[in-house]
Structure 1
Amino acid sequence: MHPLDLANHVHGDHLFALLKKSAEQWNTLVNFRSVDLALDGQFSVGANTVIRSVQIDPGFGQRLLTVENLTTFNEMAGQRPDDAIVIYTGGMPSPSWKRAYAVFLKALAPTATLHHWGDIDLGGFRIASHIAKCCEQEGRSLRLHGMRADAVLPGTVTRRELAPSARREILRVCERWGWGEEAAALGALAVEQEAMEPCWPE
């Protein structure tokens, strides 16, 4: 698949490009399995690419996981099941990322599950909230993956203590989107996504 083929339509794949500029490079990372080309791989697309529509084979795209950090994205891409999609957000989703994500949500089957995995800190939950809003606008709901603090293995490297104000805002975000388990499990420490063992949602 050549990136230029994506300018108007994505054929047969169950992934698409997400546009975000960072440090003068476009982090348009996509991990995919091409039905038409019998190919597994990853590609990037430049700033001029606009995705207008997506076609998804009914046998694929049953699980969509967005991932906040690049290291974890690469690990999850290496473990990706055939029916799954993994997309790198590059941190906070940009407006162009959200537009592309909305195109993809429209193409997914109603039964497809949507998950997000990010840092267990205020930034991570803010990112999740932005993605949840995109899902809500398309009549879908977003679940969190790997963001329950009580599921973090003992000895996992933590970044810092959560400030009381950050903890309160995280709890408000969880209440807004119905993420009760994550709210109940929230502790006093922030945890980096990269410090956690990669695993796919069930």
Structure 2
Amino acid sequence: MSDDDPMATIDAVAACVAGEDANLRDNEIVRKEAEAAQARLEAIQTFKEDFVSKMRGAFDVMDGLLGELNRQLHKRSFHGLAYRFARQEAPGYRDMTRSSSGRPILGWRKPLLILTVENLTSFHRQVREARQADVCVVYTGGFPSLTVIRVLRHLLRAAPTPPRLFHWGDVDAGGARIAGHLEDSLGTAVVPHLMDASTVRRFGRAGRAGDVRALSRRPGAVGIIARTIAETGLLLEQEAVDPVPVGNASGSVPHQRGG
């Protein structure tokens, strides 16, 4: 571009601004769509819990009426015979109130793994290219919102056994803080997925990591990720890595929280 062509400069700047504006709008739409999907999931779960609670209350009322009816029948004799009514389970039907006692109506057929994914492109690729029947994949939309945390808490409470929680995100200071926030908010250990030193050396790039020394001293996933950054001197955008099933990645190595 020549300084003697001011119109070309103006057109180039206008095109750049238009492109950035379109990107911002697209990102905002994607974020809003993800938030709406998470809010819908939470609303459905809340509705189910409320519905079963009301059903349980109705059954309690029915039990009370049945008990009163039997007390009255106990005082009467029909040709020398006493009768009473009893509630009987219908074969082939599931007792929703019993199955939901103490936990949301959400059951898993086998031990569950949860994988949180920071970025939308990687989330879509994970569920399309590396789908696993026993892995629930949750998109965090960058730093997880309160809605995302609530959904994850529902999943953790609903599992019959404590599920292992994996996280796949960018290997940078922000990615480390996201993993730490998940651990702090959910009170469970997070296993970094595809965020190990070997993967970072293979797909990472040089960049300004900032001072991660304080993060590297922290326990749990945040410290592991920060120490990987310090060790390799590289950063990694997760979109640069192809998805793999959880447990098949060299970076999916369990750790004990606090050490």
Q: Relative to structure 2, which stretch is displaced further, 140-149 or 75-84? A: 140-149
Aligned to 1:119: 170
Determine which structure has greater relative contact order: mean sequence separation of CA pairs < 8 Å that are 6+ residues apart, divided by chain length: 1
**Structure 2 CA distance, aligned partners of 1:48 and 1:123?**
26
**Structure 2 CA distance, aligned partners of 1:125 and 1:178?**
7
User: Compared with structure 1, are the counterparts of its residues 63 and 80 closer, same or farther at alpha carbon in structure 2 (3 Å cutoff)?
Assistant: same
Alpha-carbon shift at residue 47 of structure 1 (Å)? 6.5
Aligned to 1:168: 213
Contact 1:60 1:82 in 2 (8 A): no
Is 1:55 the equivalent of 2:105? yes
Alpha-carbon shift at residue 60 of structure 1 (Å)? 4.4
**Structure 2 CA distance, aligned partners of 1:47 and 1:191?**
32
TM-score between the two structures when normalised by the length of structure 2: 0.53
Aligned to 1:72: 122
Aligned to 1:198: 243
**Structure 1 CA distance, aligned partners of 2:199 and 2:108?**
33
Counting strand residues as a fraction of each chain, which structure ranks higher? 1
Deviations 1:128-183 (A, max 9, x none): 111111221xxx322111111333363x25262322x1x214313xx322666545
User: Compared with structure 1, are the counterparts of its residues 28 and 99 closer, same or farther at alpha carbon in structure 2 (3 Å cutoff)?
Assistant: same
Aligned to 2:140: 89
- Ranges in structure 1 where 5+ consecutive residues have no aligned partner: 1-21, 30-43
How many aligned residue pairs are there?
159
Is 1:145 the equivalent of 2:196? no
Contact 1:132 1:142 in 2 (8 A): yes
Counting helix residues as a fraction of each chain, which structure ranks higher? 2
Is the radius of gyration larger for structure 1 or structure 2? 2
**Structure 2 CA distance, aligned partners of 1:60 and 1:112?**
10
Contact 2:107 2:160 in 1 (8 A): no
Partner AA of 1:74 in structure 2: H
**Structure 2 CA distance, aligned partners of 1:49 and 1:180?**
31
Partner AA of 2:112 in structure 1: Q
**Structure 1 CA distance, aligned partners of 2:41 and 2:206?**
37
Q: Percent identity between the aligned chains?
A: 29
Aligned to 1:40: none
Alpha-carbon shift at residue 117 of structure 1 (Å)? 0.8
Aligned partner of 2:205 among 158, 161, 172: 158
Contact 1:26 1:47 in 2 (8 A): no
- Ranges in structure 2 where 5+ consecutive residues have no aligned partner: 1-26, 50-103, 248-259
User: Compared with structure 1, are the counterparts of its residues 159 and 26 closer, same or farther at alpha carbon in structure 2 (3 Å cutoff)?
Assistant: farther
SS in 2 for 1:74: helix
User: What's the C-alpha RMSD, in Å, of the aligned pairs?
Assistant: 2.7
**Structure 2 CA distance, aligned partners of 1:157 and 1:45?**
31
SS in 1 for 2:141: coil
Alpha-carbon shift at residue 88 of structure 1 (Å)? 0.3
Report runs of 4+ in structure 1 exceeding 4 Å deviation.
45-49, 178-184
**Structure 2 CA distance, aligned partners of 1:81 and 1:48?**
20
